[in-house]
Structure 1
Amino acid sequence: MNYPPSIAKTKAIEEYSKVLSAVPSCGLRRAMTKLKHGQYENINLDFIPTPANLAAMARAEAKVTIDDLTRLREKQATLRDLHDKPEPVSEEARARVRSMLGRFNANHEAHKAQQRGYVAPEPMSDEKAEYWRKIEAMKDAPEVTDEHQQFRNKINMETPEDRQEAAQ
């Protein structure tokens, strides 16, 4: 590539240095690489672009990097501000979290107990106990299967009177 005819060869370095001194080096590097590879359209590849055109191309190439850096700095500042100023947590919120944690722990323990095969029966109400006593007093089926017998045993264990007698 040759210098453009409007620039004297003896003053070319001074001209380019003067104009390109304020241009970001990352943009200049990218612009020169694209020039070498012929990736710019409407540019005569026989000549190096004029200092002003080369500076404009370098600034355009650096714009993406500069915008990314700006976004990252803003993000960093936002994160720093959030980290420096934590919001105070109200007692109401703490109580709500404690309540949720308590419910979770109770459900988790119940699930673990169920997985082990033992589930503590809930206390039977008096109405339900009376209902099962009436059913127990009814005439039995001619044949009692193992499943029926297991269910009877379960009901007998859950009635309040039987549990009190078993405890004594």
Structure 2
Amino acid sequence: MKTILFVAGALLLGQASAASYVSNDAASKTATITVNAGEGTDNGGLNFNGADHGKKGFVIPAGWTVKMVFKNMGNMPHSAIVTKGRTPPNTVTAKDAAFPKAYTAKLVEGVAGGSKAQTVVFKVGQAGTYNLVCGVPGHNLGGQWVGFVVSSTAKTASFK
């Protein structure tokens, strides 16, 4: 019986964790998204919120403001940038940002694991398909990216 309760509790914790990556304020049209780099060991730590190679992603309503709270939970340096296009670029600079200010500090060199969380604020434009990628050389090519869709029909932001 204890084993069953433990497993059920672990499953519920996993669900709560996934839900906590996004909060919405529909009145102000603001989404707060949590981006945890190197969360767990999936893909050798080259992941965001435990996802890699675009297997999951954020959906943001068009025209909303995004508060991206970035935290490096891994052992190696990481960063984050929202890039243009359906396919992540091989290398990135701040010029590759899909929206003004849609990237973390130390984009290329990354911030060390365990560093204080950074919050960047930007407004998304027109609907389209973008990607959230790590700007540290090689990480993007290694699969450290998730989808980032700006939707003309979504009423709230999500991560799935």
The bucket for the TM-score relative to the shorter chain is under 0.3
More relative contact order in 1 or in 2 (CA 8 Å, sep 6+)? Answer: 2
Structure with greater strand percent: 2
Structure with greater helix percent: 1
Q: Based on CA coordinates, which of the two structures has the bigger radius of gyration?
A: 1
